[in-house]
A and B are shown apart, each in its own frame.
Chain A
């Protein structure tokens, strides 16, 4: 896993969000094994303690479980993954709405834009 970290925001949170996105899109399938703390720490170039914290927080969401001596695994409960995916999508949508409203777009404008973009996509 590699990405640019933003040092103005909690780093463990960014690692956690990146893992959630990867699990949501199936990069790590249900029941699959996540990379080790050490591997993630080396990839992202942060302190392993920070990655351990991200894993702990992730475990609390129920998306993953850590088995002693074996590693961390994605849950086999596909409903949990689906719910998390929906929830993340809603967050992305809410962020999008904030930005688009800053441009003065109303809900009708957004719908019109979506329809136009869909038409363009067909061509």
Chain B
């Protein structure tokens, strides 16, 4: 039996004024491309941060490759935050070397390939990059890591619409390492629709619908985009 990449068992996360996650149950098989779908404030980011080991749940059980999130799982998980956290004064290459110093699994050859794909120059100053370029840079940094589990929080935010589909397809195709599990949070389902194996619809901290995308299509006769509208509006 294969060990699931992620297990969430009745996971609750309370903040002082809100409940970000309200009893989420989930099991994700390794090698799947998962769409975490929900509107802003539905709990997507909190869920990804808990899987990444950056936040602890208030209650419930979390397992990543069979282990509780911690030092060991962090070596195998890459989390790409939606918020930009890089220093403006660094260059693209400077940042990659900086990240490599604490994530030794970052592969500089892969980074070179990604920079080319994303049309970013190594000598460019981060502060001088456009919003779209910064979003691309984030993907370069995250995807250069040889992580078994890739968590992408709204990776398309800031990227111009014509490039989105192309980047998404590369993400699950040529840029994905063999057997890698990918969880992508987004509220823009249309472009991402054909790349998901599994979808999780999140509303007010609960996964209101979840399953294999193809099975959901066969059972409902709806696209994921239509289900998003039905389940979450």
Contact = CB atoms under 8 A, between A and B. Distances in A.
A48 B217 contact: no
A50 interface: yes
A50 B169 CA distance: 13
B193 A53 contact: no
Query: Which among A38, A44, A47, A48 has the highest number of chain B CB atoms within 10 Å?
Result: A47
A11 interface: yes
Contacts of B214: 10-13, 50, 53
Nearest to B32: A49
B221 A45 contact: no
Interface in A31-65: 38, 41-42, 44-50, 53
Nearest to B170: A42
Interface string B157-177: 000000001000100111000
Interface in B172-213: 172-174, 193-197
A97 to B, nearest CB: 22
A7 B33 contact: no
Tell me the dominant secondary structure on chain B's binding face.
helix
A47 B197 contact: yes
Query: Which among A13, A44, A48 has the highest number of chain B CB atoms within 10 Å?
Result: A48
Nearest to A53: B214
A9 B221 contact: yes
B224 interface: yes
A8 interface: yes
Given A38-B173, A41-B173, A46 B217 contact: no
7 contacts: A8-B221, A8-B222, A9-B217, A45-B194, A49-B31, A49-B197, A50-B197
Interface of B: 31-33, 165, 169, 172-174, 193-197, 214-215, 217-218, 221-226
Top 3 A-B residue pairs of the complex, sorted by shortest distance between their CB atoms: A7-B223, A10-B214, A46-B194
